[in-house]
Structure 1
Amino acid sequence: MARKSRLALLSAAILLVVPLAGPAQAAIPPTPPGWTLAWGDDFTGPNNTLPNQNEWIIDLGHGYPGGPGNWGTGEIQRYTADIANLRLDGTGNLRITPQRSGSGEWTSARIETRRSNFKAPAGGILRMEGRIQMPDITGTAALGYWPAFWALGAPYRGNYWNWPSIGEFDVMENVNGINSVWGVLHCGVNPGGPCNETNGLGASRACPGSTCQSTFHTYRFEWDRSVSPNQLRWYVDGQQYHTVRQDQMDATSWNNMTSHQGYFILLNVAMGGAFPNGVAGRGTPVPETTPGRPMVVDYVAVWTRP
């Protein structure tokens, strides 16, 4: 989600035909054999209420206090805790909805887990997963939409200037209503470095069977310390489409993003910024961009395996 423009990755999108993803299931799936549920939220709660603030921090404004402006990405919206932008829908979903005021100001929402210690155990695997429907909007009306499910290294909190060395795992990103999911790793130094910043090491593909915008799909990231070299892997609906290995970079860069206490998870829908602008080839959003289309999140969960 941080400081990127990845137009080149768009060409990597492919389409595989599999059964359609179904409606929201309003529950975290059963824990697979051999795994342990470390944390999760199925967003159960009354309609028009905020997500559980014992579990989530609601980010506000145009950046962290003392951090880079516009969240470091050039996105233009103001994040709020207004239920017009952020709410449970009463049927087990979280909805993050960009809105545009009569004066033209865009607002939206961004939340992050209070926990910041999600980490693969020594010799084991970490799995971060979410079942999400991207904003159901395409074409010119979608220009500027930037939904994301991602994680940042814990040392970013309170510093806000140590990106990308502390690591960033983009489990799911999308821009401009394109039928594609991007999975990206950010690490090392900016610009350049082992993760080719500000682009990151990424890949993209079309959502299987049905478009990313038309229904729910399951997005998963795994950090695997049980194999040598260690691996980072990205999946959509169980289909792996991206891998980064420990031996693809120098030991210091890998250590800087993996040796700290762990990661916190974020969910947001930005409007405009480097990534959607780069893919569109112009500034976004545009006057034709239509507000009011939510990213709908069924659940987010974290599992570990020894």
Structure 2
Amino acid sequence: MRTKRFRTPLSVVAAVAALALLVPGTSAAAPAPAAPAEAAPAAAAQAALVWSDEFNGAAGSAPSAANWNHETGSHGWGNNELQNYTNSRANSALDGNGNLVITARREANGTYTSARMTTQNKVQPHFGRVEARIKIPRGQGIWPAFWMLGGNFPGTPWPNSGEIDIMENIGREPHLVHGTVHGPGYSGGGGITGSYMHPQGWSFADDFHTFAVDWAPGSITWSVNGNPYHTVTRASTGGNQWVFDQPFFMILNVAVGGNWPGYPDGSTQFPQQMTVDYVRVYSLDGGGGGGTGTITASNGICLDVAGAANADGTPIQLAHCNGNQAQQWTVGSDGTVRAYNRCLDVSGGNTAAGTRVQLWTCNGSGAQQWQRTDGQGLRNPQSGRCLQPVGRVQNDGARTEIANCDGSAVQRWNLP
């Protein structure tokens, strides 16, 4: 089994330049012009890795259940698709060489099987660079995708939940990939789309390519191999609601047939495989964003890592401010709040009021996402609840929990 070494991530400078220089678009234009196959990383500070799955494991083993769910069924998936998604290793498995392989098959009875995997309620990024290095399958009627749905789905139905398609390809266009958003008033055939053509006009199925979005509040930029080709901003939605400033979960799948790609014909060969080298999430600001310093309660007492420990599961408490490292917090643009290079975390990913808050290795999950409220609270979007001291007492040593947001003084925090 090959254990993967990390490649150098694309630089934050390149990401910021892409966000600054590209002109926002509101519809699909001609594919982006040819560009070098690989963009050279700039010699600058690198984006901080906050989560990854490198798919290191024994050949034939299942992808990590800590990261991935399998969605199953053969009901057409809203697009008149043909495949039955399964959780079988015949359709999704590690290959022993550091890759996940999703396989679309034509079975002996003429039906099709494949796999659709999601990180819902397990890993739900909130801004940053989201990327995967993928070798896509090929053939008429084959539809591989790497995409995201709003973490509030299905409670908030599509398209109001939002959809970010990082990479889609349809087999009849082997040299093109597409990046799209769908939201209220701009969904389905009205999605806001950009396309990227292979620089040499070759098939994307011939080799691995890195597909990414640089995702910030009010802006999303798509790239292939570090080459930006499409940007969407709030202005691009034409007055319709922007629904992308929230946690999203990731999806990998290979569909067979459907309204857009059409259906397999005599030229389509099976099985077809999508090989995924890795999926990674980076913080575009290197882990910072709002700044680094103390977080104080409304009475001036500090948010503190108990015992100045840095182990997973260490409780978070209130303590008299003393200037030590246990009270130094970094507020990231990716929605995290960090100390000791670990994240403020809702224990067990639970959503119930009274769940304790702890320090945990950053993993991109919804349990580690925090947003400011209008009342200056810290709200965990996954649970819809706010950070407060246990018993609502702002004393030295009081531990912390999530509770129903009420805007009271014990839920107000001053951030760096």
| TM interval, short-chain normalised | 0.7 to 0.9
1:292 aligns with 2:278: no
| 1:223 and 1:232 in contact (8 A); partners too | yes
- Residue of structure 1 in register with 2:163 after alignment: 168
Q: Give the partner amino acid of 2:140.
A: L
* 1:215 counterpart = 2:207: yes
Cα distance between partner residues in 1 of 2:55 and 2:67:
11
Corresponding residue pairs, total: 253
Secondary structure of the residue aligned to 2:261 is helix
Identify if the C-alpha distance between structure 1 residues 300 and 224 changes in structure 2 by more than 3 Å, giving closer, same or farther: same
Task: Report the residue type matching 1:203 in the other structure.
Answer: G
Q: Residues 86 and 242 from structure 1, CA distance in 2 versus in 1: closer, same or farther, beyond 3 angstroms?
A: same
**Preserved contact between residue 58 and residue 94 of structure 2 (Cα < 8 Å):** yes
Q: Which amino acid aligns with 2:30?
A: A
Is residue 76 of structure 2 the alignment partner of residue 79 of structure 1? Answer: no
Give the deviation of 1:17 after TM superposition: 5.1
Structure having greater relative contact order (Cα 8 Å, sep ≥ 6) = 1
Matched residues in 2 for 1:33 and 1:112: separation?
31
Could you tell me the TM-score, scaled by structure 1's length? 0.76
CA distance in 1, matches of 2:129, 2:148: 12
SS in 2 for 1:276: coil
- Once the two structures are TM-superposed, the CA of residue 116 in structure 1 deviates from its matched residue by 5.0
The letter of the residue matching 2:160 is S
Specify the SS of the correspondent of 1:71: coil
Deviations 1:267-303 (A, max 9, x none): 00000112102xxxxxx02244211120110000111
Cα shift readout 1:142-169 (whole Å, capped 9, x = no counterpart): 1110000000001114x4x711111111
- The answer to whether the Cα contact below 8 Å between 1:217 and 1:236 also exists between their aligned partners in 2 is yes
Structure-1 separation of matches of 2:256 and 2:281: 27
Task: Give the deviation of 1:86 after TM superposition.
Answer: 0.7
* Matching residue of 2:22: none
Q: Percent identity?
A: 36
The equivalent position to 2:232 in structure 1, one of 220, 224, 244, is 244
Aligned equivalent of 2:197: 206
Contact kept, 8 Å, 1:207 with 1:236, in 2: the verdict is: no
Matched residue, 1:35: 47
**What SS does the aligned partner of 2:260 have?**
helix
Match of 1:185 among 181, 184, 188: 181
CA RMSD of superposed structures (Å)? 2.4
Shift, 1:199, TM fit:
3.6
- Determine whether 1:269 maps to 2:287: no
Contact preservation (8 Å) 2:32, 2:229? no
Question: What runs of 5+ residues in structure 1 fail to find an aligned partner?
Answer: 1-7, 22-28, 63-68, 121-125, 278-283
Residue 58 of structure 1 pairs with residue 70 of structure 2: yes
Shift of 1:72: 1.4
Contact residue 35 and residue 227 of structure 2 kept, 8 A: no
